[in-house]
Amino acid sequence: MSSSDSDKESLAEQPEKIAEEQPEEPQEKALSHKERRKQRRAEALAKEKPEADTEQSSEQKEDSEKTEKVESRPQRSAYAVWIGNLSFKTTRERLFEWISANIQESEDVITRINMPKGQRAHEHNKGFAYVDITTEDIMNKVIAQSENNLDGRKLLIKSASDFGGRPKPQLPEGVSNENDLSKFSKKILSSQQNKPNPTLFFGNLSFETTEESIKSWLISNAEKLHTRQKQQQKVDQESKLDVGVKRIRLGTFPDSGKCKGWCFIDFKNTTQATSALCDSHNHRMYGRDLVVQFGQDRSEQKKRKYDKEAEKEDTNERPDNRKPKRAKPGAALANAQRSEKASGAINQPSAGIVEDLVGKATGINVTQKIEEQNKLSEYAHNINDSQWKLLVENSNQDNVWLILITSGKQDEFERLLKESFNNLAEETRDDDNIKLGRADYGNDIRSLSTRWLLFQVPIYVFTDDNGRTLRFMSPYHYTPSSTNLRKLLLEKGYKALPIWDSEFSYEGKYARYMDVYTNLSVYLHSKLDVIPSIVWYIGIASASSSLLKWMHKDDKKNLARQKGSAEKDNASAHTRSKTAVK
């Protein structure tokens, strides 16, 4: 056997030895699909078990922390109040200070304030809050502060267990419980359409009613009620009677001045107004059954007057895209019609023959109508040259002045102007920064009209810096309405008007010369006004005749020359005719 054959045999035996030396691998058992699914579920459960243990321990920690927080919070009191209509700017600290200051108690009486935060970043609350109080007496003190102002909002405060609407109307004086009200008082209070406020409306009054008769009638009825309450021991025996009448606004006819059948009475507070409303004696006067109810709150009237519906109804307002026409300044020298006598005849009318005839024929008092037309509201100022320096130039710099300059004519347009101006004064009487004034062009502002170079009236004048900056607006280009004027003042719309900044204005180049000219002009007219009118007429007639004679002084000489030349022509023609005949 050769060596090559032996090598082949050894190589053939080696795989058999290697196979014998290697251990046999265990054969995997074939599993069905069901058994494989069970196996996977068991492996998943084994993995989730330690994670569940860790989550359970974390939840236990959170629960323990919550219980600790709840135990550390102050306990909720049985005497809690709900405060609504909060401003979004009101913070928890601000509300805490306001309650403590108004009830005049220590800070310990408030145990908790729950004020949910608003959705937006700048909102400190959602408009309401819950406040826990220690005792019932202090809770009633807090509830009594309802309708008071905080950060510009009237708060609504009631018990946290009260799920009704706004609190019930204030009870009249001498009544501490609603059960003590009579059937008449309950019926009257339940039939009110407006919420309680210090104003009462009286309707179906007699035409002969006056402010004095209404006031004495109310005092007499209040004395009867006060005496009856003393007898029933509902009020203290030493208490004094206070009707609380602050103002009586009686509707009157413009021609006769008699009552129109209604009036508004403003009381000092809502309690006194409610007491007068619940008094049955105040529902009958001069044998007439009256209509007595709460009037509408004046503050709400102002807010509702300028809502979107009111703006839609006002269709006469000037469009925003048109600029108001600027009043043209020009020379304004006073004439005879601007004298005090001429204007005095208008400002202080006297009944004459024509007025008497018209009054007898139509039954209209013409003189009284003129007086009412010229009447100025008590909330506006009568402006003249001296009052301008006293009121406007020395007023607060933040004040906005609106001056109406009238021509003094008794026409329909000026009547509308004065009527709307008086209505505006009534509406803006509570605004300290808005000031109104009216002047007559012919008499009141001789110096100002000359200085401002006014020659077109009527006109509105706006100023907001002690009268140094002036803006003029013609009422012919703007509807004479108190609504439009008030909107101009509140929204600063008057600033869109052009400023009078010519060379003759207060800051102009020729301001000093205009001041000298104004003073000289006023001085001359003050001297000339002393001269009677008849002297003016005689002097003007004499001057006119003298001027005419001087202008026609050469007319006689020219006529004589023309006459002489004509005679010569006639003589020469006559001689020529004779020679021709010969």
pLDDT tens digits, 313-354: 444 444 445 555 444 444 343 443 443 333 343 344 444 555
Give me the domain span that covers residue 202: 192-301
Report the share of the chain in percent with pLDDT over 90.
7
Q: How many other CB atoms sit within 10 Å of the CB of residue 259? A: 20
Residue 460 belongs to domain with CATH number = 3.40.30.10
Which pLDDT score, from 0 to 100, does residue 54 have? 58
Q: Is 178 within the bounds of a domain?
A: no
Mean pLDDT of 193-221: 90
Among the listed residues 450, 490, 455, the one whose alpha carbon sits nearest the alpha carbon of residue 474:
455
146 and 201 assigned to the same domain = no
Which pLDDT score, from 0 to 100, does residue 367 have? 58
Lowest mean per-residue pLDDT among 75-84, 202-211, 319-328: 319-328
Q: Model-level pTM?
A: 0.34
Q: Is 571 within the bounds of a domain?
A: no
Q: Is 251 within the bounds of a domain?
A: yes
Q: Is 108 within the bounds of a domain?
A: yes
Q: Say what the alpha-carbon torsion angle 311, 316, 321, 326 is, to the nearest 10 degrees.
A: -130
Asked whether the predicted pLDDT for residue 427 surpasses 80, the reply is: yes
Which pLDDT score, from 0 to 100, does residue 112 have? 87
Cβ–Cβ < 8 Å for 98, 119: no
Mean pLDDT of 15-23: 51
Asked whether the predicted pLDDT for residue 106 surpasses 80, the reply is: no
φ, ψ (nearest 5 deg) of residue 429: -70, -25
Lowest mean per-residue pLDDT among 163-167, 194-198, 470-474: 163-167
Report the C-alpha gap between 63 and 58 in whole angstroms.
9
Number of structural domains (the chain) is 3
Asked whether the predicted pLDDT for residue 306 surpasses 50, the reply is: no
- The token pair at 188 is 């009257």
Report the C-alpha gap between 392 and 223 in whole angstroms.
47
Report the C-alpha gap between 234 and 333 in whole angstroms.
73
114 and 225 assigned to the same domain = no
Asked whether the predicted pLDDT for residue 72 surpasses 70, the reply is: no
pLDDT higher for 330 or 215? 215
Report the C-alpha gap between 49 and 38 in whole angstroms.
17
Lowest mean per-residue pLDDT among 112-116, 303-307, 572-576: 303-307
Which pLDDT score, from 0 to 100, does residue 250 have? 93
Q: Is 562 within the bounds of a domain?
A: no
Q: Give strand ranges (E) for 494-543.
A: none
134 and 207 assigned to the same domain = no
Q: How many other CB atoms sit within 10 Å of the CB of residue 556? A: 9
Report the C-alpha gap between 369 and 316 in whole angstroms.
27
210 and 275 assigned to the same domain = yes
Among 475, 500, 525, the domain-final residue is 500
Among the listed residues 333, 342, 347, the one whose alpha carbon sits nearest the alpha carbon of residue 525:
333
Q: Which band of pLDDT confidence, cut at 50, 70 and 90, is reported for residue 576?
A: low
Which pLDDT score, from 0 to 100, does residue 474 have? 85
Highest mean pLDDT among 172-186, 234-248, 446-460: 446-460
pLDDT higher for 127 or 303? 127
148 and 218 assigned to the same domain = no
Q: Which band of pLDDT confidence, cut at 50, 70 and 90, is reported for residue 266?
A: very high
Q: Is 196 within the bounds of a domain?
A: yes
Mean pLDDT of 239-267: 88
377 and 493 assigned to the same domain = yes
Which pLDDT score, from 0 to 100, does residue 475 have? 83
φ, ψ (nearest 5 deg) of residue 183: -65, -35
Residue 151 belongs to domain with CATH number = 3.30.70.330
Q: Using one digit for the tens of pLDDT, what is the confidence trace for 445-491?
A: 778 888 888 877 888 898 888 788 888 888 877 777 888 888 888 88
Report the C-alpha gap between 272 and 35 in whole angstroms.
92
Query: Pairing state of beta strands 284-285 and 288-289?
Result: antiparallel
257 and 370 assigned to the same domain = no
Among 301, 317, 343, the domain-final residue is 301
Report the C-alpha gap between 393 and 240 in whole angstroms.
47
383 and 477 assigned to the same domain = yes
389 and 484 assigned to the same domain = yes
Residues 6+ apart with CB under 8 A from 66: none
Mean pLDDT of 23-48: 75
143 and 201 assigned to the same domain = no
Q: Using one digit for the tens of pLDDT, what is the confidence trace for 272-296?
A: 898 899 888 999 988 889 999 998 8
Mean pLDDT of 227-246: 74
The DSSP bridge partners found for residue 250 are: 263
Q: Is 267 within the bounds of a domain?
A: yes
Mean pLDDT of 498-509: 84
Report the C-alpha gap between 443 and 342 in whole angstroms.
9
241 and 139 assigned to the same domain = no
Among 472, 500, 528, the domain-final residue is 500
198 and 121 assigned to the same domain = no
pLDDT higher for 154 or 53? 154
- The token pair at 507 is 């800051």
Q: Is 145 within the bounds of a domain?
A: yes
